Structure 1
């Protein structure tokens, strides 16, 4: 699915800010010092949580209608939208660190010639997999 909409519970903090939870998604929790920050953090938390569920092939539950969400005394419900194509694209382009082992003499020569190891490895992998475009 390309877009999800889930209700979130915003609870006013004891000192300041807001704690945000998603009743349909246990473990999806965030916070913000201001309402604006809490809304932004809620969207990001929802997107990343759902992305992880998609990657793990977990079943994503149907959202509870907002009027059926139990709201604490110092809280309120807000609807949060996650647009998944944006997060999927961002995560696909995220750099991952790999450790490689080379003979010292080869490493020394490559460094002397100012070889960009990351670029060279990416190029070699693309050639090996017959990939002609950037993904």
Structure 2
């Protein structure tokens, strides 16, 4: 993750320099200045995240040129065989989007269906033994 931290630090430095030049040349125009400032903050946050994770966990197998694929292998986890909840979630999202166009009543119905689908996906296998 050290490479990613350096990469995002470089992006943050670019946004900082571009923002300073933009503020100087535009006469403090607020929209572009704010966009570049937010871009700088977001890139800095990502660089900080990757740097902290690198310090905590150290180098990954991907960082070693002599590593093999098996070095990263581990338990894959649980994958459900079939579920109706993804279709219900998609239906809820579609009805919610139509509700934005056609009215609050349809939006509320769609949001209820969407919440049921997302809740069902989240809690479908809660009773499953690990």
The bucket for the TM-score relative to the shorter chain is under 0.3
Greater helix fraction, Structure 1 or Structure 2 = 2
Higher relative contact order (CA 8 A, sep 6+): 1
TM-score (norm: length of structure 2): 0.27
